[in-house]
Amino acid sequence: MVSEGQYFEAKEHPEIRQLFLNRIYFDSRELKKYVRELLYIESNVQGLSMFVDVNYFSKLYIPRIRQNILVLPYAFSEKASKNLDDFLSVLIDHELFHAKRLFEQPWNFKPSTGLEEYLAYKNQVDNFLQRNCSPEVQETTKIALYFLSRLTSTSSQLLPNF
């Protein structure tokens, strides 16, 4: 498993971020099952730290297709993650959650409804007790979950109000 020190080293040195992601990937049986590649890409999209690049065959509702997760520089910013657990919360509890859903039942993956983001944020919040996430990341995630619950009519039927 990667260490907090390795995370901070990758945070400071962009040239080793792909190596850092490779270490996470090869240490995780679950990532290898659902994710084809974990890739660092240089992009200046503010506010977007990582995302699942949905495979073409998954868009055709073909199950058991592994996805790529693309990680952007913002994921290593102080605003996006203060520590390793913040980073892993987004990577494992959020993006891997999307990849699993696409792998298992791509016909149920409905990104345009907002339900997918709602479910991924809900999974992140449910896993906070397993991680030492910073209060800022916990708060931001809970706020996103709250607003998605209000915007997504289906989600408000799935779970009680906050």
Q: What is the pLDDT of residues 92-105, one digit of tens each?
A: 999 999 999 999 99
17-26, 81-90, 106-115, 137-146 — which is least confidently predicted? 106-115
As given in the structure block, the two tokens for residue 5 are 């020190």
Mean pLDDT of the chain: 92
Tell me what pLDDT residue 83 has: 98
Domain that holds residue 44: 4-158
pTM (global) more than 0.75: yes
Tell me what pLDDT residue 17 has: 98
Each residue's pLDDT tens digit, 16-57 = 999 999 999 999 999 999 999 999 999 988 889 999 999 999
As given in the structure block, the two tokens for residue 20 are 């850092």
> pLDDT > 90: what percent of the chain?
85
* Contact (Cβ atoms closer than 8 angstroms) between residue 71 and residue 21: yes
Tell me what pLDDT residue 73 has: 97
Give the integer Cα–Cα distance in Å for 97 and 121.
9
3-class state of residue 87 by DSSP: helix
Cα distance from N-terminal residue to C-terminal residue, the chain: 35
Strands 35-40 and 67-71: parallel
Q: How many domains does the chain have?
A: 1
Tell me what pLDDT residue 160 has: 43
150 compared with 23, residue with greater pLDDT: 23
